[in-house]
């Protein structure tokens, strides 16, 4: 069985990447999302284990000490990290997985797994990003400001990615992201085994 493919999806908070990803998983439920371990407080509406495992700083540091994370970063004062084992298990079983992580985490994963495909979700303009962030109402003004600064820094690093998807129209952005994933599945390095199997039967 050929290994699954790893996709990294980044974009500043407020770029709408969560909504795009929901659309992708709805159309293709076989694609798995990596559940990050994070130390940020749970927001209203968030559910433990759905997108994140909410853990303490001590628990996070224990994961780091035991080398159980594929990558990690500190974002606006909190730890965020990708548990290594579920990624390896999914890919080894031939499944495709998406890591929804920030630009620093993405750089670490590219280093360790150069075959990973990275996609940056861009807001159509800074104004739209600002409105989306402040309109969310889930964070204090100070945190919104910090996230804005982080957003500018992230956008400046968008050129490190393999693909850019602009989230101007949600349905188009979902289809764009899916097109990338589906095309990557058809790449020759994933098809070699099938070619061999067909030839063997001739």
Site residues, ligand 5GP (CB under 6 A): 10, 13, 36, 40, 71, 73, 75, 80-82, 100-102, 104-105
| Beta strands 69-75 and 78-83, pairing class | antiparallel
E runs forming strands in 76-146: 78-83, 97-100, 117-122
Q: How far is the CB of 106 from ligand 5GP (least distance, A)?
A: 7
- Closer to ligand 5GP by Cβ: residue 10 or 167: 10
> How many whole angstroms separate alpha carbon 191 and alpha carbon 149?
43
Q: How far is the CB of 17 from ligand 5GP (least distance, A)?
A: 7
**Token representation of residue 141:** 């003004």
Number of H helices, E strands in the chain: 8, 9
Q: How far is the CB of 24 from ligand 5GP (least distance, A)?
A: 15
Report the length, in residues, of the chain: 202
Other C-beta atoms closer than 10 Å to the C-beta of 146 total 15
- Closer to ligand 5GP by Cβ: residue 77 or 114: 77
Q: How far is the CB of 186 from ligand 5GP (least distance, A)?
A: 27
- Closer to ligand 5GP by Cβ: residue 4 or 81: 81
């Amino acid at each position: 069985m050929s290994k699954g493919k790893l996709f990294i999806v980044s974009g500043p908070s407020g770029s709408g990447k969560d909504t795009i990803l929901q659309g992708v998983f709805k159309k293709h439920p076989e694609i798995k999302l990596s559940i990050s371990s994070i130390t940020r407080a749970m927001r209203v509406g968030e559910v433990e284990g759905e997108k994140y495992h909410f853990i303490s700083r001590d628990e996070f540091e224990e994961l780091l000490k035991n080398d159980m994370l594929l990558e990690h970063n500190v974002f606006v004062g909190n730890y965020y990290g990708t548990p290594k084992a579920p990624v390896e298990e999914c890919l080894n079983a031939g499944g495709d997985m998406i890591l929804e992580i920030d630009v620093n985490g993405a750089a670490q994963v590219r280093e360790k797994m150069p075959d990973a495909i990275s996609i940056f979700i861009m807001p159509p303009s800074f104004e739209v990003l600002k409105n989306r962030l402040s309109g969310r109402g889930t964070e204090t003004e100070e945190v919104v400001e910090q996230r804005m600064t982080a957003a500018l820094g992230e956008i400046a690093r968008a050129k490190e990615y393999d693909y850019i998807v602009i989230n101007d129209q949600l349905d188009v952005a979902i289809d764009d992201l899916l097109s990338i994933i589906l095309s990557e599945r058809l790449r020759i390095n994933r098809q070699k085994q099938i070619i061999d199997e067909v030839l063997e039967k001739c």
